[in-house]
A and B are shown apart, each in its own frame.
Chain A
Amino acid sequence: MSDNAAVKILICQGTGGISAGARQVEAEFSRLIAEKGLSATIGKRCDVVKTGCRGLCANDVLVDIITPELGRVTYDFVVPEDVEAIIDEHIIKQEPILKKKAKEYYNTFVDQQMRVVMTGCGQIDPEKLSAYLEEDGFKAIEKCVKEMTPAAVIDEVKKSGLRGRGGGGFPTGMKWSFCAASPGNKKYLICNADEGDPGAFMDRSILEGDPYCIIEGMMIAAYAIGCYAGYVYVRAEYPLAIERLQKALDTCYEKGYLGKNIQGWGFDFDLRIKKGAGAFVCGEETALMASIEGERGMPRPRPPFPAVKGLWGKPTNINNVETFANVRHIINKGSEWYASLGTETTKGTKIFAVTGKVKHTGLVEVPAGMSVRDVIYKVCGGIANNRKFKAVQAGGPSGGCIPSEVLDTPVDYDSLIKAGAMMGSGGLVVMDETTCMVDVARFFLSFTKMESCGKCVPCRIGLKAMLDILERITAGRGEMADIDTLLEMGATIKKASLCGLGQTAPNPILSTVKYFRHEYEAHIIDKRCPSNSCKELLLWRVVPEKCVKCGACLRACPSNAIAWEKGQVAELLQDKCTKCKSCYDACRFMAIE
């Protein structure tokens, strides 16, 4: 921070923060600061800064107060009613309110991480170019243009070992060199921000929290490859990301960081946003290009690869948001520094979106190679509600499940594939003993079936047939032969599909059968769901010995199917029960089964 004499109030305003009421908190701070004449009272400037997401979305609204005397203090779960007390006690009297301060877990959550890509997210105002410039913004592209040849830039990225963060893990420098080597002087650069994997939101957070770093990353790539035009393809479900990126682009054009002869460096680059329209398959690069061209987003066969013949038939380089966000740090700090992070085959850091049944859901950035166990238990505080860990699903609908036996797998591309999952975009959905693995497989398949574009028969028809089988199993009408049919069909679909969607769609099934075959068998043979999840197989009841008579189930029930009075064991009225599971989830003592 450049201005040490000022008080700074940082308020998290990502999508998570805003849905928890960050705008109201900000308004209250601004109102009270003006009303109390705060700057005059304490004799210092007092800035309210809205920042992007800082990761711990479950505890929003997060507010950091930075004063010269007390340094940085974080408050969580802030509501507008707390604001006056924070100003009076903390900023004026210099006495932080201990009761409201984020507890120890917040420090653990932050300390265990290593923030490279997300340094700016949650610290700077994403809507201000000046804030980005203070953090050495656009220094990397300046260095490239002034001191390095395009080939030297590619070489530097190659040496850093950076691999594509979109999931495939293809070496970025290599990809750039292919496109740079393609003949022709009209080439395109695309940033893939069609982050469709349910459970992953790091790209959204970067776009919302630090949009300028994407622009700079793309400028560097454009310089290295020799492109003069680029697109950022953002999915339409991210209105805030689109708004902030558009603002950043407008400012860049205004201040001469985009357009013709950027900053007088003799380098041109045009960048515009292309808004998606709600199709998961458009995250696949050839489908994405079809979509930019204004067609149905259906994948095209490769080769020819985009580096040779991509958008409008021209050589095209396409990278993911997080990949571009890494680039400026590699140029600024050098490829050796970057290559020193991570493991032998996976360099640098990786951002994970850890969600599901963990205590602290949110975004975490860790050096590649940390074990999955450490990510879940050390950084994110373990499983919520004292339940038992069952598995973690990595890599979204294309990935697989990691059970407790292989929880020590390090998070790098190759180890995860060996464990039957994949890095994917970096979503980690944690599941506890109440999550049914057959149901999870069914869930992913219903998603990929819906999103299949319909071009290849194995994917279009095959996924539908597999889903029918899974639905039969979860309804208690499965047969033992079904498991083998699933395995066989899965293998065929993987082999016979054109694009990544079909090639990976059977993964969730294959990996759950591999690690949780007993759950499939329980559904088929015993007509029982061991995790109490598949509702056609369940009849709920209260276990009197386990019930602590707290009444939590009564409050959770939407259909008055719980009879309970103070000091009494609860009773479940079968005729009113809609099997919605609200009571089961609400009970912390596993007294409903």
Chain B
Amino acid sequence: MSNAPAAEEIPAEEIDLTQANEIIDKFLTLPGNLMPVLQGIQDAYGFVPRPTIDLVAERLNVYPSQIYGVLTFYAQFHLKPRGRYIIRVCVGTACHVQGAERIVETFFGRLGIGHAETTPDLRYTFEKVACLGACGMAPLAMVNDDTFGKMTVQKVDEIVETYNQRPMK
């Protein structure tokens, strides 16, 4: 889970639950619907806000603690807001032997954040991930949906430069 230093919690009253309700409606009758509902909420809000947990608990008739258990078990759920640009560096076996560790450390240095952390301006979230499945291009990094293969420390600078210029919206 993210333990972002300065990313402020958004006050509960500012969360609009309309979308969450629509997502729950869509999966209401499906067996095993907790995960798809939470994945839908995460896609819509970018993370799983606290008020939606209470909503899901009530409407699907499960305990909030059970939902919290699921959310903290899977690496892809997040309880805090995430950056506009999510940088993921693969540290799978193939990337590891091709030097992924120095790519990770260079990102740490350039962004000033560690694994699973978000910059205070909410521009970047950084994550080490296990295998993105493109081992032929190792070492590999991704920013949102863009893939950067055969990474070098120089490319880290280029990527940070490029995305510093990108808009926040």
Contacts and interface: CB of A to CB of B under 8 A. Distances in A.
Interface of A: 15-16, 18-20, 56-58, 60, 195-201, 204, 236-239, 274-280, 291-298, 312, 353, 355-357, 361-362, 393, 396, 427, 429, 431, 435, 440, 443-444, 447, 450-451, 453, 556, 558, 578, 580-582, 585
B88 to A, nearest CB: 9
B131 to A, nearest CB: 4
8 nearest A-B pairs in the assembled complex, by CB-CB distance: A57-B136, A198-B92, A19-B147, A294-B34, A278-B75, A277-B74, A355-B94, A558-B153
A294 B33 contact: yes
B153 A443 contact: no
Contact of B39 (A57, A239, A275, A312): A275
A515 B169 CA distance: 54
Interface in B44-95: 66, 69-70, 73-77, 91-95
B36 A198 contact: no
Contacts of B114: none
Contacts of B147: 15, 18-19
A279 B75 contact: yes
A237 B136 contact: no
A2 to B, nearest CB: 31
Contacts of B66: 295
B130 A204 contact: no
A582 B136 CA distance: 19
B133 interface: yes
Contact of A198 (B99, B131, B137, B145): B131
A31 B35 CA distance: 42
B36 A199 contact: no
B40 to A, nearest CB: 10
B137 A58 contact: yes
B114 to A, nearest CB: 15
Interface in B113-162: 129-138, 140, 145, 147-149, 152-154, 156-157
A280 B136 contact: no
A488 B17 CA distance: 54
Contacts of A20: 137, 149
Given A15-B147, A239-B145, A198 B94 contact: yes
Contacts of A295: 34, 66, 70
B131 A356 contact: no
Nearest to B106: A558
B134 A16 contact: yes
B99 A57 contact: no
B2 interface: no
Contacts of B105: 578, 580
B21 interface: no
A278 B33 contact: no
Contacts of B149: 16, 19-20
A297 B34 CA distance: 13
Contact of B136 (A58, A239, A293, A431): A58
Nearest to A19: B147
A465 to B, nearest CB: 22
B99 A558 contact: no
Nearest to A204: B133
Contacts of B148: 19
Interface size class of B (residues with CB under 8 A): 35 or more
A324 B12 CA distance: 47
B150 to A, nearest CB: 9
Given A15-B147, A357-B97, A199 B135 contact: yes
Nearest to B142: A19
A562 B93 CA distance: 29
B102 A582 contact: yes
A23 to B, nearest CB: 11
26 contacts: A16-B136, A19-B147, A199-B92, A201-B131, A237-B132, A238-B133, A278-B76, A279-B74, A291-B35, A292-B35, A294-B33, A294-B34, A295-B34, A296-B69, A356-B93, A356-B97, A356-B98, A362-B136, A427-B135, A429-B94, A429-B97, A443-B96, A447-B130, A558-B106, A580-B153, A582-B99
A393 B101 CA distance: 19
Q: Give the interface centre of B32, B39, B148 by most chain A CB atoms within 10 Å.
A: B32
Given A20-B149, A294-B34, 20 more contacts: A19-B134, A19-B140, A57-B135, A58-B136, A60-B137, A236-B39, A274-B32, A277-B77, A279-B74, A280-B130, A293-B31, A294-B35, A296-B73, A312-B31, A312-B32, A356-B138, A361-B138, A450-B130, A556-B152, A582-B152
A356 B94 contact: yes
A312 B32 CA distance: 9
A364 B38 CA distance: 38
In this complex, the member of B34, B102, B134, B157 whose beta carbon has the largest number of chain A beta carbons within 10 angstroms is B134
A200 to B, nearest CB: 8
Nearest to B69: A296
Interface string B22-40: 0000000001111110110
A428 B149 CA distance: 19
Contact of B130 (A196, A239, A298, A361): A196
Nearest to A435: B97
Given A239-B145, A277-B74, A201 B153 contact: no
Nearest to B34: A294
A228 to B, nearest CB: 14
A90 B137 CA distance: 29
Contact of B134 (A201, A298, A444): A201
A363 B138 CA distance: 14
A312 B34 CA distance: 14
Contacts of B97: 356-357, 429, 431, 435, 440
Nearest to A235: B133
Contacts of B91: 198
A277 B76 contact: yes
B131 A196 contact: yes
Nearest to B157: A558
A456 B157 CA distance: 43
Contacts of B34: 294-295
B65 to A, nearest CB: 12
B132 to A, nearest CB: 6
A450 B115 CA distance: 13
Nearest to B131: A198
A362 B136 CA distance: 6
Contacts of B99: 581-582, 585
Contact of B138 (A18, A355, A578): A355
Contacts of A312: 31-32
